[in-house]
Amino acid sequence: MSNAITEIQQAKCLLIFGYNAADSHPVVARHILKARANGAKIIVCDPRKIESARIADQWLPLNNGSNMALVNAIANVIIEEDLYDKAFVQNNTEGFDAFREIASHYTPESVEQVTGLKAADIRLAARTYAAASEAMILWGMGVTQYGQAVDVVRGLAGLALLTGNFGRPGVGCGPVRGQNNVQGTCDMGMLPHQFPGYQSVADDVIRDKFEKAWGVTLSGTPGYRLTEVGHKADEGICKAFYIFGEDPAQTEADLAAMRATMRKMELVIVQDIFMTQTAEFADVIFPATSWGEHEGVYSSADRGFQRFYKAVNPSGDVKPDWEIFSLLATRMGYPMSYSNTEEIWDELRALAPLYAGVTYEKMADLKSVQWPCPTEDHPGTSYLFEGNKFSTPSGKGIFIGAEWRPPLEQPDSDYPLVLSTVREVGHYSCRSMTGNCSALQTLADEPGYVQMHPDDAKALGIDDQQLVWVSSRRGKVISRANYNDRVNKGVVYMTYQWWIGACNELTIEHVDPISSTPEFKYCAVKVEHIDDQAWAENYVQTEYSSLKARLKSHVANA
Amino acid sequence: MNRFVFADPNMCIGCRTCEIACVVSHQVDGKLDGVSPEAFAPRLTLVKNVHVTTPVMCRQCDDAPCAQVCPNNAIVLEDGYVKVIQSRCIGCKTCVIACPYGAMNVVTTMVEESKGGSLFNRMAPKSQALKCDLCAHREAGPACVEVCPTSAIQLIKPETLSETSKQKREAAALNAAVASFR
């Protein structure tokens, strides 16, 4: 995020796009409510009437998969109605003319069909956003989990550039990350083309620095992204898969393809805190400590480093992740030893200028330090681009426009409904942690739910809470129908953490060309009524019990 | 006037933390380990429909319909709230019918009943009429108020009501001044 989460309260307008804070980040939802109480105008763009939409000044229930068309239309209004900040655009940006050219094709009237929105509503939203002295955009997976994702991100950033909403408190762009510490994994160099601190592996000077520090030769060729691994395995290039703190057999799109990928690997290592379905594929399992059993540093979505502390002693034969890595590296001929996480952290900040000044002491207790923090006397950076200096070679913000592309797999007579995968507040991510909490299990349990508009369900003869089959061209799962007046007709919604009702059996591996993130938010499915509900209830219980028994037996036989 | 717990629907984000906190608060050991789905009985329930999201719970009515209809005098006004004396509850559910808020929940479980020697032990139904008790057993007050991440849930006291009413009257007076007839 360009600006701190706490700055949400300072905004005079919040444009919330494909982001359900109440279910994904209740803490951010609180800031949104505070902003509203402070008088901020709230605009929510989401097909579902999410909690923020309920309290918004304006809710734009756009059609699923029409993001780029709506963003372009908002840009169109801001430019053509002369609402943009000409001085800011003139002095601090590049690429405006090309951006304007693309946006000129997207009058609100022309996108009514694609977005399902009235032109007047789009105009009103654009005017509200442009009129605010401080406007912030928040987006989430409803933007990034489409085949056209990076384009939309650039478009949203373009709206902020148009209106001069950068470089001050309470403005900017907030991609609120999908999971705890996703920001941290990017910060720490989990991206295949970067070393820690967003330093390119292709840069000779940077590589030389890391080679000297670590005493090894490093490759200047970017590695592979997760969605490429399957194809590299097919080509015989990827032979081993080391997975830690991740459950791709639950969370990746098109699980059947993911399982095939793991079977093709000569070696699968899984490092996790519980026996997961991914761990079933492992040749070697390294049992690791959980968040309460070790210390470390997390990055929050707004670049804030926060220390967390060990709360309890681990039980059983487990080790912290960093100790496992050290032991493995040592066995592989690279002696690696640290006595605590602070040593690792200090090594990191010596190599990453963005984090150089973030000491353990400055993060002590509950304090947060936001990068960039280049020196130890630097307090950290609440908002980026102060003085309108952007982190581009020219120092200017760059407009990048794009034409709208529809999602890949459109509904047809065989698969007439759209499936979009979403979150629910009570369960976190793949549920390997929250699934072991009895209270949360009681609130919602297997096989999970498929949220349907009552009219769609009734047309199929499906009652509320009945078990149903949901299938796509890739798979078929059982789920429980949830009549939901807040969802749009023609689209069904499932959360991705269920084992039996695993929606990722259905999703499609159609990836954004730049981020390689799959189109989790759009594929064609059908929902079918099950006549024998007693059989279906029994089937769910049997399947769930046998899966749990199988996972348990792996542990017992280990 | 009785105090009562109330939630502001404009602040509620539907997270259900209040439901869990309520169940935790009413466990003997304060722990949730091994609470079965049957025993999971929060005394407030999140309502989420197309228009509104908010937990609904007992208003501690001063002239409580549940207390009026209870045939066994199990529901009494005591300690500043509407209290159920569980030992007197016979599970007739009349209070459930009477409550205008749907805030009463009768839960019946089978418990072992001993009459003399273990030879005569038998399983017998035991009913409890569960409703908000303002967490009277908790020094810190209602658990739901404490955990709500958006501070949507509040304990309304007589002085809270008179203060908000005063503020509303002030606002109404101002509006009246603006909208004067001539």
The CATH number linked to A29 is 3.40.228.10
Average pLDDT over residues B155-163: 92
Question: What tokens does A185 get?
Answer: 């994994």
Same domain (yes/no): A452, A328: no
Binning pLDDT at 50, 70 and 90, where does residue B28 land?
confident
pLDDT reported for residue A441: 79
pLDDT reported for residue B34: 67
Model pLDDT for residues A144-165, shown as the tens digit of each residue? 999 999 999 999 999 999 999 9
A-chain CB neighbours of B10 within 8 Å are 33, 55
Per-residue pLDDT for B118 more than 80?
no
Same domain (yes/no): A193, A144: no
A-chain CB neighbours of B24 within 8 Å are 439
A-chain CB neighbours of B16 within 8 Å are 425-426, 443
In a domain? residue A217: yes
Same domain (yes/no): A15, A151: yes
A-chain CB neighbours of B15 within 8 Å are 22, 26, 425-426
Model pLDDT for residues A401-422, shown as the tens digit of each residue? 999 999 999 999 999 999 999 9
DSSP codes of every residue in A164-217: T--SSTT-EEEE--SSTTHHHHHHTT-STTEETTTEETT-HHHHHHHHHHHTS-
Same domain (yes/no): A232, A152: no
pLDDT reported for residue A557: 79
In a domain? residue B122: yes
Q: Indicate the number of domains in chain A.
A: 3
In this structure, the number of other CB atoms found within 10 A of the CB of residue A538 comes to 11
pLDDT reported for residue A62: 98
- What is the dihedral angle through the alpha carbons of B46, B47, B49, B54, rounded to the nearest 10 degrees? -70
Model pLDDT for residues A83-106, shown as the tens digit of each residue? 999 999 999 999 999 999 999 999
Question: What tokens does A361 get?
Answer: 């002491």
Per-residue pLDDT for B78 more than 70?
yes
Nearest chain A residue to B51 by CA distance is A54
pLDDT reported for residue A179: 79
Candidates B17, B34, B53; nearest CB to A438: B34
From the list A365, A362, A364, A389, the residue with the least C-alpha distance to A373 is A362
ipTM, two decimals, is 0.83
Question: What tokens does A325 get?
Answer: 């890595």
What's the angle, vertex CA A165, arms to CA A163 and CA A167, rounded to 5?
140
DSSP codes of every residue in A367-407: -EEESP--STT----SBS-GGG--SSTTSSEE---------
Candidates B14, B23, B35; nearest CB to A22: B14
pLDDT reported for residue A145: 95
Per-residue pLDDT for B182 more than 60?
no
pLDDT reported for residue A504: 94
In this structure, the number of other CB atoms found within 10 A of the CB of residue B24 comes to 17
Contact A85, A162 (CB under 8 A): yes
Average model confidence (pLDDT) across chain A: 95
Per-residue pLDDT for A237 more than 90?
yes
Binning pLDDT at 50, 70 and 90, where does residue B10 land?
very high
Grouping H, G, I as helix, E, B as strand and the rest as coil, residue A527 is strand
Q: What is the extent of the structural domain holding B123?
A: 61-95+106-129
Judge: B13–A426 Cβ closer than 8 Å, yes or no.
no
pLDDT reported for residue A417: 98
Same domain (yes/no): A155, A227: no
Q: Is B15 on the interface with A (CB under 8 A)?
A: yes
With b for 16 or more beta-carbon neighbours within 10 A and e for fewer, the A216-251 pattern comes to eeeeeeeeeebbebbebbeeeebeebebebbbbbbb
Model pLDDT for residues A376-400, shown as the tens digit of each residue? 999 999 999 999 999 999 999 999 9
CA distances from A326 to A84, A207, A216, A314 (A): 53, 22, 15, 19
Q: Indicate the number of domains in chain B.
A: 1
Nearest chain B residue to A33 by CA distance is B11
Q: Is B45 on the interface with A (CB under 8 A)?
A: no
In a domain? residue B79: yes
Same domain (yes/no): A143, A26: yes
In a domain? residue A403: no
Higher per-residue confidence, A433 vs A120: A120
Contacts of A8 (CB under 8 A, 6+ apart): A14, A28, A31, A32, A34, A35, A136, A138, A170, A174
Contact B65, B58 (CB under 8 A): no
Question: What tokens does A107 get?
Answer: 């009058």
Binning pLDDT at 50, 70 and 90, where does residue A227 land?
confident
B-chain CB neighbours of A50 within 8 Å are none
How many angstroms from the chain centroid is the CA of residue A114? 25
In this structure, the number of other CB atoms found within 10 A of the CB of residue B22 comes to 26
pLDDT reported for residue B178: 72
Q: Kindly state the DSSP code that residue A300 receives in the 8-state scheme.
A: -
Last residue of a domain, one of A140, A155, A176: A176
Distance to chain A for B148, nearest Cα, Å: 10
Contact A322, A344 (CB under 8 A): yes
B-chain CB neighbours of A424 within 8 Å are none
CA pair distance B117, A278, nearest whole angstrom: 54
From the list A14, A30, A33, the residue with the least C-alpha distance to A170 is A14
Same domain (yes/no): A131, A272: no
Q: What is the extent of the structural domain holding A360?
A: 182-376
From the list B45, B63, B61, the residue with the least C-alpha distance to B130 is B45
pLDDT reported for residue A371: 95
In a domain? residue A402: no
Binning pLDDT at 50, 70 and 90, where does residue B181 land?
low
CA distances from B99 to B66, B88, B128 (A): 6, 18, 16
Contact A257, A242 (CB under 8 A): no
In a domain? residue A213: yes
CA distances from A542 to A195, A309, A527, A547, A551 (A): 47, 40, 22, 8, 14
Q: Is B149 on the interface with A (CB under 8 A)?
A: yes
* Residue whose structure tokens are 């101002």: B174
Q: CATH no. for residue A368?
A: 3.40.50.740
Contact B68, B98 (CB under 8 A): yes
Model pLDDT for residues B83-93, shown as the tens digit of each residue? 999 999 999 99
* Residue whose structure tokens are 């000569």: A266
Per-residue pLDDT for B142 more than 70?
yes
Model pLDDT for residues A242-263, shown as the tens digit of each residue? 999 899 999 999 999 999 999 9
- Residues from A in contact with B at Cβ < 8 Å: 21-23, 26-27, 29-30, 33, 49, 51, 54-55, 425-426, 437-443, 445, 485-486
Length of chain B: 182
From the list A197, A198, A195, the residue with the least C-alpha distance to A220 is A195
Edge-to-edge, what's the strand order for the sheet holding A304-308? A296-299, A304-308, A368-370
Higher per-residue confidence, B36 vs A510: A510
In this structure, the number of other CB atoms found within 10 A of the CB of residue A489 comes to 11
Q: Is B20 on the interface with A (CB under 8 A)?
A: yes
In a domain? residue B116: yes
Average pLDDT over residues B4-33: 90
Same domain (yes/no): A19, A34: yes
In a domain? residue B13: no
Q: Is B29 on the interface with A (CB under 8 A)?
A: no
Model pLDDT for residues A182-198, shown as the tens digit of each residue? 899 999 999 999 999 99
Q: Is B14 on the interface with A (CB under 8 A)?
A: yes
Same domain (yes/no): A197, A158: no
pLDDT reported for residue B180: 65
Nearest chain A residue to B10 by CA distance is A55
In a domain? residue B115: yes
Model pLDDT for residues A40-76, shown as the tens digit of each residue? 999 999 999 999 999 999 999 999 999 999 999 999 9
pLDDT reported for residue A443: 81
CA distances from A516 to A92, A144, A509, A512 (A): 30, 10, 9, 5
Judge: B150–A33 Cβ closer than 8 Å, yes or no.
yes
CA pair distance A346, A340, nearest whole angstrom: 11
Q: What percent of chain A is modeled with pLDDT above 70?
A: 100
Contacts of A86 (CB under 8 A, 6+ apart): none
pLDDT reported for residue A425: 83
CA distances from A128 to A88, A138, A185, A241, A549 (A): 19, 15, 36, 49, 56
CA distances from B46 to A391, A461, B3, B127 (A): 46, 27, 20, 23
Distance to chain B for A36, nearest Cα, Å: 10
Average model confidence (pLDDT) across chain B: 90
Model pLDDT for residues A335-366, shown as the tens digit of each residue? 999 999 999 999 999 999 999 999 999 999 88
Contacts of B106 (CB under 8 A, 6+ apart): B89, B91, B93, B95, B96, B127, B128, B129, B130
Higher per-residue confidence, A556 vs A206: A206
Distance to chain A for B156, nearest Cα, Å: 20
Same domain (yes/no): A168, A33: yes
In a domain? residue A359: yes
pLDDT reported for residue A397: 96
Same domain (yes/no): A162, A252: no
Same domain (yes/no): A262, A319: yes
In a domain? residue B125: yes
DSSP codes of every residue in A223-286: ---HHHHHHHHHTT---EEEEES--HHHHSSSHHHHHHHHHH-SEEEEEESS--TTGGG-SEEE
Candidates A30, A55, A425; nearest CB to B10: A55
Per-residue pLDDT for A135 more than 60?
yes
In a domain? residue A389: no
Judge: B32–A30 Cβ closer than 8 Å, yes or no.
no
Distance to chain B for A438, nearest Cα, Å: 7
Q: CATH no. for residue A462?
A: 2.40.40.20
Higher per-residue confidence, A234 vs A432: A234
Judge: A54–B35 Cβ closer than 8 Å, yes or no.
no
Give the gyration radius of chain A's Cα atoms: 24
Last residue of a domain, one of A129, A148, A176: A176
Last residue of a domain, one of A376, A407, A440: A376
